[in-house]
Structure 1
Amino acid sequence: MRIQIVLLGLVGLLLSCSTQETVDADKVIENVGVITMDNDGKVLQNRTVFIKDDQIVRIVTADQAGIPETASRIDGEGKFLIPGLSEMHAHIPSGDAEQEYVEDVLFLYLSNGITTIRGMLGEPSHLDLQKQAAQNEIVSPRVYTSGPGFSGESVDSLEHARQRVRDQHEAGYDFLKIFPGLTLEEYNAIAEEANKVGIEFSGHVPASVGLERAIEAGQTTIDHLDKYMEALAGDTLDTEEVEDPGVIYFGMHAVPYVDRSRVPEVAKMTAESGTWNVPTQALLEHVLGTDPPEELAERPEFQYMPNETVEQWIDSKKSITGHDIYTEELAKEYLRLRRDMIKALHDAGADLLLGSDAPQIFNVPGFSVHHELRYIVNSDLTPYQALRTGTYNTAKYLDDLENSGTIAEGKVADMVLLESNPLDDISNSNNIAGVMYRGNWLSREDIDKRLESIAKKHQ
C-alpha cells in the first residue's frame, strides 16, 4: 500500500512538471523578494519575474512556470527587487558640453537605480536626448524635461512671457520651469497662458508671488520647499526679501519669524490644492549643514565629477556659510523646520516627489538621491514611505501608473535589484546588484566597469 502511495505521488509530480507553462521571456530574475510598492511594504518572497522586450510579463512563485532555455537568467536569491527610482529635480548638461560628458551624467543617474529623471533646465538638445533615450540609442533613464527657464532676466514683457509659454508647448517640452525674479504680473501671465494651452509650470516661487498665490495659480510642483518658511512666518516677516539664494537660501532668513503653530495649516492648504512638493532636502543639508566642505568632497562618489566642479562646490559652500546671516544655530533650526514641514506635508496627504537637485552643490548625479532618501527618513517617514516618493508617486504625478511606479505584470521593466532589504534600512537602497531599464539589464559588473572608466577621466 505504501509503495502504491509513493508511486501515485511520483506520477502526480511528473504530471505537474509536464504541464508546467513555459513563459515566453528573454530575461528572468529568479527567486527574488519583490517589493511591489503598492501593498504597504509586504515582500513577495521567492518570486520569479519574467521580462519580454521592455515589459514584465509574469510574476510567479519559483515553481509555477518554466524558464525558456534561451532566456538570460539573473540570480535573485537573497536579493530584493524594487521599481526603478526617479530623480524629479535633475539637471542635464547643456548642449555646449561634450556629448561624452552628457552621457556620463545620464549613466550616473541610471547606475544608481534611477530610471526616470525630470530635467529642470531644459533646452532643444534635451528633446533630442529624450528621443534617443526612449529608443535606447543611449544608455539613459527616461527623460522628462522643461524648456528654458522663465525668470526676471528671460522675460521682458507680459506678451513675451505668454509667447514663450506657447512656443515651449508647441516645441514639445513637458513643462515650464519657473525661476526667481519674475514680477507678480509676469508670473500671472505665464500661469494663465500655461493653464490655457495645457502645460504644467513648476519650480521656484518668486518672492513677488508667495506660496499662497503659487498654489492658487495651479503651480504643479514647488521645489526646494521654496517660500514655505516665509508662509510660516506670515505677516511677522518684516525684513526685505532678497532674491539671491546665496543670501537667503530658500527662506533661511525667515526662520526667526516662523510661527511653528502654522505648520499644519500650511500643510493642509497644500494638500487641498493638489500641489506637489520636491523638497531637495539633500541640497540644503549639504550646503548649510556643519560638515566641512573638504570632508564632503572626500565621499567616494566625488571621483566621478570633474575636479573643477568639486572645487566650485567647495567655494560655493564656503561663500554661503560665510555670509553675515549664516550661523550654525540658525542653519540647524532651519533644517529642523524643513524636516518638520516634510513630515507635516506627508501626514496632511500632500504628495511628495523624490528629488535632490543634481548635479548641484555636493550632489553627485544618482548618488545624491540615496542621500535624499535618508534625509526623508530622518524627517520621520518610514523607508517604505520614502521609497514611494520616488516610485509610485512619480507614476501618479506623471499620470503613468498604468505603465510604471510599481512592479506588476504588464508594466514597463524598470527595476532595481538590491542586495539587502531597503525596508529594513533605507541605506540599502544604494546596495545595488543590478539595474533594469526598459527591459535592458545592467549588472553590477557592467556598472562598475563604466564607473571606473568615468573616474579615470577625472584623475
Structure 2
Amino acid sequence: MKTRTFFLLFALTIIACQPKESVDILITHAEVIDVETGEIWSDQMIGINDGTIVFISDDDAKDYNAKETIEADGNYVIPGLWDMHIHFRGGEELVEENKSLIPLFLANGITGVREAGGDMTQKIFEWQDAIEAGTMKGPKIFTSGPKLDGPGGTWAGSIPVTTQEEAFEAVDSLIDLGSDFVKLYDSRISRDAYIWILEEAKRRGIKTSGHMPFSVLLNEAVEAGLGSVEHLYYVLKGTSTEEQEVTDDVIAGKASFWGSMNRLMATTTKEQEQAAFNLLRDNNTYVTPTLYIGNVLTYLKEVDHANDQYLNYVGDGIIDTYQGRIRSALNANEEFTQMRIDLNNTFVNLVPKLHKAGVTLLAGSDCGASNSYVYPGESLHGELKALVDAGLPEIEALKAATINGAKFLEVDSFYGSLKTGKSGDLLILNDNPLEDISNSKNISGMVLQGKVYTKSDMDAMLESVRKK
C-alpha cells in the first residue's frame, strides 16, 4: 500500500512539474464558428502565437501560460471579415483622407480588404508594407494597382490598352509592380483589348477581376479567364436570350450600357439563367454582387443622408466627390429612376439563384471616394445583411466575407477560416451571426496580427478620425 501511494505521489509530482505550454493569447469558453461547414464548436480554447493559431481545443483540463487571456464567456468567434471590393482614390489631394479611412475598417472588424483599383498605388504599397511591419494599424490590403481600360478611361490612374502588345505590357507592368490581381474596367476598352488582357493574365497566372464591356459576351469573358465578375450587370446580360443581339447593337453603336437594361430584364428566361450560372460555376468564376451600394444609389432621391453618423468620420474632400452621383440621381427622369429600381430588384433576385446554382460569391461594399454614402467598414456589414435579405443563408454570407475571398486570392492555406496553423485574425461576437447576420457588427473584441483589441479600443479607432 505504501509503495502504491509512493508511486502515485511520484506520478502526480512529475505531472505537476511538467512545463506548461506557453501562448501569446489564450481565448477560453468560445463558441467557434467553422465558416466552411457552418458547424459551431462549443466551449473551445484557442491558442495564438505570433499571429497564428496553434490550437483549438475543448480540453479545459490542460493548463497554459498565456501572456494575455480573453474570457469569451460563450460568445461567438469567427474569422476576421474581408471586404472584397473597396477603393482608395481621388488624387494627391485626397491621399491623407484615404489613409484616414483605414481605421474605419478596423473599428468594424474588417481585417482584410481587396482594393479594386485607383490612382494612389504607390501609397497603398507603402501602407501595405507598414501594416505588415506593424508600424501602422490596418487590415491586410490586397490591391490591383491601376485599372486597365481604354484610352481616356473614366477613372484617373487607369492604364490605357488598345493593342495586343499593350495588353502584354500592361499585365507585365502590374506583375512587376507587385499587384495582387488585375482589375479591368469597361468605360473605353475595346472588345479585343479586353480579351487580350484576360488571355495574357491567364497565361501569366495572375487573377483577374472586373467589369465587362457590353461588346463582349459573358461566355467570352469567362472562357478567356475572368476570375471574378464585379457587380451583376454583366451576369444579367448573360441571362438574356438577346445577349448576342444586344452585343451586336452595342458594337454597331445602336445601343448603350444603360439603354440596354430594360431589354435585358425583359428577355431573361430560366433556361438562359441556368446556362449563365452553370458557365460561371464550371469555370470557377466568382461573383461580387455589391447589393448594398445598389440599394444606396438607387434611392438617393428618396433617402436623406444628411444625418448619417459616418459623415463625421469621412473627410470633406471625399464627401465632395459624392456630389457626382447625387446630381445624376436628382436629375434623372422618371423613366430612368424606375429602371434603376427595377434593375436593383432584379439583382436582389439573382443572388439566391446564383448561390443555388453553385456560383461562389464574394462580399464587397464598393466603398470609396465618389461612391456616395457607402462608408468604409460599416458598409461591409450592410452588404452581409443585403445578401441575407436577398435570400442567402447566413453562413453563405459569412463565407462570402471570409473563406471565399481567401480562396479567390489563393491565400486560403493561411487566411479565411479558423484552423490550427492558420491566421489568428478573428472577431469575438456577442451573439450568433448564424441566427441574425446583423450580429456580425455586435463585436466584443478583435485579434489582429497577434494583438488584442477590445471594443473600447475599436471605438477609439473610430473616434481617432472624427472631424473636429
TM-score (norm 1): 0.87
Between the aligned partners of 1:111 and 1:435, the Cα distance in structure 2 is 9
AA paired with 2:295?
E
**Where does residue 328 of structure 2 map in the other structure?**
319
Write the deviation string for residues 119-166 of structure 1: whole angstroms up to 9, x where unpaired. Answer: 111523322322222222211111111121111222243322321111
**Where does residue 421 of structure 2 map in the other structure?**
410
Residues 20, 423 of structure 1: CA spacing in aligned structure 2 closer, same or farther, 3 A cutoff? farther
Q: Percent identity?
A: 28
Q: Is the 8 A contact 1:283 1:357 kept in 2?
A: yes
Where does 1:117-266 land on structure 2 (aligned, <5 Å)? 117-122=113-118, 123-153=121-151, 154-180=160-186, 181-235=188-242, 248=258, 251=261, 254-266=264-276
**Segment drifting more, 296-305 vs 377-386:** 296-305
Q: Is the 8 A contact 2:85 2:113 kept in 1?
A: yes
Write the deviation string for residues 365-417 of structure 1: whole angstroms up to 9, x where unpaired. Answer: 11100000011101211111110111121222222222111111111111011
How many angstroms does 1:98 deviate by? 6.0
**Where does residue 101 of structure 1 map in the other structure?**
97
Task: Choose from 85, 92, 104 the match for 1:89.
Answer: 85
Q: Is the 8 A contact 1:32 1:76 kept in 2?
A: yes
**Segment drifting more, 155-164 vs 406-415:** 155-164
Write the deviation string for residues 271-327 of structure 1: whole angstroms up to 9, x where unpaired. Answer: 112111111111111101377342x34332332112453454366235235323745
Residues 242, 315 of structure 1: CA spacing in aligned structure 2 closer, same or farther, 3 A cutoff? farther
Q: Is the 8 A contact 1:23 1:58 kept in 2?
A: no
Say whether 1:339 aligns with 2:351: no
AA paired with 2:399?
R
Where does 1:66-77 land on structure 2 (aligned, <5 Å)? 66-68=63-65, 71-77=67-73
Between the aligned partners of 1:157 and 1:82, the Cα distance in structure 2 is 46
Between the aligned partners of 1:95 and 1:319, the Cα distance in structure 2 is 22
Between the aligned partners of 1:308 and 1:170, the Cα distance in structure 2 is 32
Between the aligned partners of 1:239 and 1:184, the Cα distance in structure 2 is 13
Between the aligned partners of 1:58 and 1:432, the Cα distance in structure 2 is 23
SS of equivalent residue, structure 1 residue 71: strand
The gaps in structure 2 that reach 5 residues or longer are: 152-159
**Where does residue 367 of structure 2 map in the other structure?**
358
Residues 66, 88 of structure 1: CA spacing in aligned structure 2 closer, same or farther, 3 A cutoff? same
How many angstroms does 1:261 deviate by? 4.8
**Where does residue 269 of structure 1 map in the other structure?**
279
Q: Is the 8 A contact 2:216 2:247 kept in 1?
A: no
Q: Is the 8 A contact 2:217 2:247 kept in 1?
A: no
Residues 308, 103 of structure 1: CA spacing in aligned structure 2 closer, same or farther, 3 A cutoff? closer
Say whether 1:52 aligns with 2:49: yes
Q: CA RMSD in A?
A: 3.1
Where does 1:37-48 land on structure 2 (aligned, <5 Å)? 37-38=35-36, 40-48=37-45
The gaps in structure 1 that reach 5 residues or longer are: 1-6
Say whether 1:289 aligns with 2:302: no
How many angstroms does 1:348 deviate by? 1.1
AA paired with 1:215?
V
Q: Is the 8 A contact 2:103 2:465 kept in 1?
A: no
SS of equivalent residue, structure 1 residue 227: helix
Alignment size in residue pairs: 444
Residues 107, 149 of structure 1: CA spacing in aligned structure 2 closer, same or farther, 3 A cutoff? same
How many angstroms does 1:431 deviate by? 0.8
Task: Choose from 382, 389, 392 the match for 1:381.
Answer: 392
Write the deviation string for residues 334-387 of structure 1: whole angstroms up to 9, x where unpaired. Answer: 222212221111111111111110122221011100000011101211111110
Q: Is the 8 A contact 1:263 1:341 kept in 2?
A: no
Task: Choose from 405, 415, 429 the match for 2:440.
Answer: 429
AA paired with 1:366?
G
**Segment drifting more, 124-133 vs 43-52:** 124-133
SS of equivalent residue, structure 1 residue 442: strand
**Where does residue 155 of structure 2 map in the other structure?**
none
Between the aligned partners of 1:175 and 1:119, the Cα distance in structure 2 is 10
**Segment drifting more, 152-161 vs 389-398:** 152-161
Say whether 1:444 aligns with 2:455: yes
How many angstroms does 1:454 deviate by? 0.9
Task: Choose from 311, 315, 321 the match for 1:306.
Answer: 315
Residues 126, 242 of structure 1: CA spacing in aligned structure 2 closer, same or farther, 3 A cutoff? farther
How many angstroms does 1:241 deviate by? 8.2
**Where does residue 65 of structure 1 map in the other structure?**
62
**Where does residue 395 of structure 1 map in the other structure?**
406
Q: Is the 8 A contact 1:94 1:125 kept in 2?
A: no
Q: Is the 8 A contact 1:227 1:250 kept in 2?
A: no
Task: Choose from 31, 34, 58 the match for 2:32.
Answer: 34
**Where does residue 111 of structure 1 map in the other structure?**
107
AA paired with 2:72?
G
Residues 169, 361 of structure 1: CA spacing in aligned structure 2 closer, same or farther, 3 A cutoff? same
How many angstroms does 1:167 deviate by? 1.4
Between the aligned partners of 1:309 and 1:99, the Cα distance in structure 2 is 10
Residues 16, 421 of structure 1: CA spacing in aligned structure 2 closer, same or farther, 3 A cutoff? farther
Residues 444, 340 of structure 1: CA spacing in aligned structure 2 closer, same or farther, 3 A cutoff? same
SS of equivalent residue, structure 2 residue 135: coil
Between the aligned partners of 1:420 and 1:207, the Cα distance in structure 2 is 44
Residues 333, 216 of structure 1: CA spacing in aligned structure 2 closer, same or farther, 3 A cutoff? same
